[in-house]
Copies of this chain bind each other. A is one copy, B any other.
């Protein structure tokens, strides 16, 4: 028996609505876009036709001429809890507008990120939010010149895009002062070396530099010990093992991120060292997991929801025509939990 192809009902178009309402396509378009020059009667009439037919404008067609009503979000990877917070804020902010946020994974390589970014551009998004992008500054500015762009989590400001950052200097100082006040002197740090050596103002770099500065300010220049790995759990694990293998074992480790701190905890556990009795551990980001009683990590809280909401606002403003750059900084706070204590 021949397979009957399922009849794919043709989608309702603006012409269908126009015909059904007995008006022109242009009139329907005006109503949809809330354009000038529409009578109340027309609005009602078209509105009813739209409802009756269940019409929804097709984004692709709109994109070709006008806007796609789409905000593209580029992130390395989903599953990073802090990113989820950002999205919560962004979606919340966009909920009142006609815009929709779509996300795309850029991965951790230049190449894959480039591909993802291109994909967003090819899809004619109206604005782009880049979360901690790897892309070099020149290319970043080139994109930003053509599309409203907000960059989150990088410190290199530019006249062509908006910037949202947590004040990593302040946050790192909070952690370091906390550890030093507790009495620690041999404090290690785990940082993340981006592929682009040039990016002196990227977030991991700032945290690392602040760490070193505070150490020096307290006359602990000789105790500086940095492991360069990555901000992932694996990175934290490897970094901790490296730090532990050095001559004088640190009594505290400031991991550049909570993810990394989780790896540090794992490494310490494996080495039979207890936290915080043998080694204190602090992270950064206040991931939801940091709060879990089995982890109880001292960390820095940066309000991701606020950052996401602000990102949405800035993008909408840019889409509306703003060209002057905005630099928004969130002040972080220290959250002390059981992973830090005075050294024994």
| Copies of this chain in the oligomer | 2
CB under 8 Å from chain B, chain A span 17-68:
56-61, 63-64, 68
Task: Give the total of A residues in contact with B, Cβ under 8 Å.
Answer: 55
Q: Is the CB of B70 within 8 A of A78?
A: no
Instruction: Please give me the residue from chain B that is nearest to A65 by CB atom.
Output: B60
Q: Is the CB of A118 within 8 A of B56?
A: yes
A107: chain B residues within 8 A (beta carbon): 91
Taking a contact as CB atoms closer than 8 A, the residue among B59, B80, B266 that contacts A122 in the complex is B59
Interface string of A255-268 (1 = CB under 8 A from B): 00000001001100
Rounded to whole Å, the gap between the CB of A268 and the closest CB of chain B is: 9
Tell me, yes or no, whether A101 is within 8 Å of chain B by CB: yes
Interface string of A222-264 (1 = CB under 8 A from B): 0000000000010000000000000000000000000000100
Taking a contact as CB atoms closer than 8 A, the residue among B5, B9, B70, B292 that contacts A265 in the complex is B292
Name the residue in A91, A121, A122 with the highest tally of chain B Cβ atoms < 10 Å from its Cβ.
A122
Please judge, given known A-B contacts A103-B104, A105-B87, A123-B60, whether A160 and B6 are in contact too, CB under 8 Å.
Answer: yes
Q: Is the CB of A323 within 8 A of B5?
A: yes
Name the residue in A60, A103, A160, A292 with the highest tally of chain B Cβ atoms < 10 Å from its Cβ.
A60
A323: chain B residues within 8 A (beta carbon): 3, 5-6
| Bound Cα distance A78, B9 (Å) | 32
Task: List 19 A-B pairs, Cβ < 8 Å.
Answer: A6-B323, A56-B121, A58-B64, A58-B122, A58-B124, A60-B60, A64-B64, A77-B84, A78-B79, A78-B87, A79-B85, A101-B105, A102-B102, A102-B123, A233-B292, A265-B293, A266-B292, A270-B293, A294-B294
4 A-B pairs closest in CB distance? A79-B84, A60-B63, A78-B78, A269-B293
